[in-house]
Amino acid sequence: MIVLGIESSCDETAAAVVSNGKMLSNAIASQIAVHSPYGGVVPEIASRKHIEAINPVIQQALRDAHVTLREIEGIAVTRGPGLIGSLLIGLSAAKALAFALHIPLVGVNHLEGHIAAAFLAEKVPAIPFTALVVSGGHTSIYLARNYHDFELLGQTRDDAAGEAFDKAAKLLNLGYPGGVVIDKISKGANPQAVAFPRAMKDSPDFSFSGLKTSLLTLLKKRGRDFSAEELPDIVASYQEAIVDVLVEKTVKAARDHGVNRIVVCGGVAANSRLRERFAAETSAQNIELFIPPVILCTDNAAMIAAIGEIMLKNGCRDSLDLNAVSRWPLA
């Protein structure tokens, strides 16, 4: 089955073609340059940029896959969660194409899409597995018993891990997106230089607001009275505090539920230190680790098409009055 996927939940306009579990194309129009001056995504600007990019991105995905619209057999689109204005652009385009081509449409949960990115890699996880979905808007651990069958094991009580990175970068005037900048600056630095807190050690849930406050307190105490040589150690220590709890809580959740497979996905899964720490910890505990390639960690449409194809093959269909939802719990 040839499926066109469309993703527009935040600030990436994306389209991709997947057939029989294989990615044929994955076109992405990023808005990072547009939102960088503001230190974060501006919803109204994001919506306008989606309108400009949606048709060119779909055409690019078709060209890269060497297929025509008439060859598409189904359309999968992100329905939520996300920014309503952004979601509606992709959803409107998907419904228009489904109507014009007389082909089935299915709305996809963005979080399940991130998990499904693992199915596009060379090494595919068997079910059940434990999944850490970690991004700018989400930090949650799930037990995946089957497709559409998830149990929430832990989640953030405040900021998501990606937010914690972005807010730290903003406090330090490092630029946007914060996670990418901090990952780059931290390489080769001392991650033990500053004793940042690890919150909620005895809980399966996460909290990063105290970590952000700890950094703010440090900056207020010292002002900007630290050298350029010290900055890498500070951000490396901050990053390590985030990575520590993500790795420890995910591995513990897998052990507690008798699962020896872990999927790590979402934008923060592109972080090199997180990937390194997960690889070391899972290897030491004889747990199989599955992390999608970096291009499939950040928002993309291939992951939407991947789970969409499974849903369509299982008979899932949505009507053309399908609406976007800003909140859509996976479990």
Q: How far apart are CA 214 and CA 208, in angstroms?
A: 10
Residue of 73, 30, 33 whose CA lies nearest to 53: 30
Query: What is the residue whose two structure tokens read 């040839």?
Result: 2
Cis bond before residue 128 (omega within 30° of 0): yes
Token duo for residue 276: 């390194």
Residue with structure tokens 């939520």?
A: 80
Write out pLDDT tens, residues 56-103: 999 999 999 999 999 999 999 999 999 999 999 999 999 999 999 999
* Same fold: 2-116+297-313 with 124-291: yes
Q: Categorize the per-residue pLDDT at 225 as very low, low, confident or very high, splitting at 50, 70 and 90.
A: low
Question: What is the rounded average pLDDT of the residues 177-200?
Answer: 95
53: helix, strand or coil:
helix
pTM of the predicted structure, to 2 decimals: 0.94
Average pLDDT of the residues in 34-46: 92
Tokens of 164: 């914690």
CATH code for 2-116+297-313? Answer: 3.30.420.40
Q: Would you tell me how many other CB atoms lie within 10 Å of the CB of residue 139?
A: 30
CA atoms within 13 A on the CB side of 39: 12
CB-based contact 16:156 (threshold 8 Å):
no
Which CATH number is correct for 124-291, 3.40.50.300, 1.20.1300.10, 1.10.10.10, 3.30.420.40? 3.30.420.40
Exposure string of 274-294, with b = 16+ CB inside 10 Å and e = fewer, is bbebbeebbeeeebbbbbbee
Domain boundary assignment for the chain: 2-116+297-313, 124-291
pLDDT at 6 exceeding the cut of 70 = yes
Report whether 216 contacts 196 (CB < 8 A). Answer: no
Q: What is the pLDDT of residue 280?
A: 98
SS3 category, 214: helix
pLDDT above 90 as % of the chain: 91
